[in-house]
Structure 1
């Protein structure tokens, strides 16, 4: 039967969700008879056409937020997700540690300029959620401020959704064992060494604290307007396929008739001019 959009929508965070109940090594919705590579590639043409339609119609915009522990595959996800699409109308923003100027502003200040405009798809590699994840785990902000930020994020995302942006929030859920293998490769493979950051081991040493922080953040901010999807990430191709389905589903909802010629432009008259040119 194959993997379906309903399968992709299934891991939405709702009441009663517990991160610890989901095995990062599983591939829900995928049967033993399914060819994963084939399933992953099957929507490429449609994805490209839908993205072009959105860019032309300006019927809305899409914001994809990717979160996950180090080595969860956010970069590879972005590369393969955007490959079937035109660079026109797509944008990638990677959020690192805030600069001095950004720290002097409200935590959402640095995010607003990067929101997608009508007709665009923006993908965030990390996001404003770092301000309730690393800042919570590392005690960079007091508990009252973290609480304020949960509410501020929900209000912010509600505002974005009301403006016509479809929000897809994804947590790529990997196991400690899978991360260990990836970190070993970064320390032993010359082509991967540039990716290694000693700070990865600091976060790894606080794995359970981060899982708790993610659990709370997703519980507090998963809404109808901006749902969270927790996707098992130990199989990277599977995770990429699920996110592709989520994006295709969002773009199908935004699909509109192709725009015609501009107001006051007559096709026959323009053809005659063209013939004489």
Structure 2
């Protein structure tokens, strides 16, 4: 597989999604891609172990993409070698009645990773400037002062949300949360094929909903919202990476490799033993050995 690095996919300037390919030719077989992913997974598990012992950083992985982009299977495959106790996956769906009693970032803040651990957001706080922007009527459920109907939702309202999200991420990053945000860039044709497979394969029928087709009709609106998100909220402390997602195996490898590249920029280390323990290691060893 040709050499790829995280910087190849990072959003560092204004982008147009229509100009970015949803498929990447990595010039290798599916079998070799799986082997490469396995190698990266093993390296990530070692980084995870050392980061857990270091206990100063947490990692937040954000996954966004259109329906059928492959978020669930990516999580399963990329984190397969991790210690399960060190990874928590949060899937943010329609806010509950309790969540609607708080501001729009509250449920995301309480799901942030503990030091030494990973949190994976499968759909993220960006749904608050994505699905609510495509369906602004959902905002009314938040009971925000001054917003009684859709006509009260102005461009300034959305700009304030982007600012709030940027401030939220800057705050948590300055307190030891390493943030990586991945947009799984799926083509409209590939989504059509995947929806057809859901209908044609009995064991996948349960994944299909008529609402999938209704949302597909709003493809252009979602793409426009994603462009705004990527252009307005990719920061050095919380970068976006655009991952070509038409091929699931390639996308999984790219996300894993990007995570490894970014985490290798940090110096995680195992804590040193107290001097007294170091001085008496042989004594402790002899004591345990003598119990045979």
- Asked if Structure 1 and Structure 2 have the same fold, meaning a TM-score greater than 0.5 normalized by the shorter chain, the answer is yes
Q: 183, 205, 221: which one pairs with 1:209?
A: 221
- Cα distance 1:262–1:107, how it changes in 2: closer, same or farther (>3 A)? farther
- More displaced, 266-275 or 195-204? 266-275
Instruction: State yes or no: 1:114 paired with 2:114.
Output: no
What's the C-alpha RMSD, in Å, of the aligned pairs?
1.9
Give the 5 Å matches for 1:9-28: 9-27=7-25
2-side partners of 1:136 and 1:109: how far apart? Answer: 19
SS of the residue 2:61 aligns to: strand
Match of 1:41 in 2: 38
> Which residue number corresponds to residue 184 of structure 2?
172
> Which structure shows the bigger proportion of residues in helix conformation?
2
**2:71/2:122 contact within 8 Å kept:** yes
* Gap regions ≥5 residues in structure 2: 140-152
Instruction: Answer whether contact 2:66 2:186 (CA < 8 A) is retained.
Output: yes
- Name whichever of 119-128 and 252-261 sits farther off: 252-261
- SS of residue paired to 2:85: coil
- Choose 1 or 2 for highest CA Rg: 2
In the other structure, the counterpart of 2:88 is 91
Please list the CA deviations of residues 101-123 of structure 1 after superposition, one character each: whole Å capped at 9, or x if unmatched: 21221100001111011111111
Tell me, which stretches of 5 or more residues in structure 1 are unaligned? none
| Secondary structure of the corresponding residue to residue 93 of structure 2 | coil
The reply to whether residue 51 of structure 1 matches residue 48 of structure 2 is: yes
Q: Residue 288 of structure 2 aligns with which residue?
A: 274
Q: Report the CA distance shift for 1:44/1:261 in structure 2 as closer, same or farther (over 3 A).
A: same
Matched residue pairs, number?
A: 273
Which residue number in structure 1 is paired with residue 129 of structure 2? Answer: 132
Residue correspondence of structure 1 range 156-195 to structure 2 within 5 A: 156-195=168-207
Map 1:185-264 → 2, pairs under 5 A: 185-261=197-273, 264=276
- TM-score normalised to structure 1 length: 0.91
1: CA distance, partners of 2:100 / 2:2: 43
User: 1-side partners of 2:176 and 2:262: how far apart?
Assistant: 12
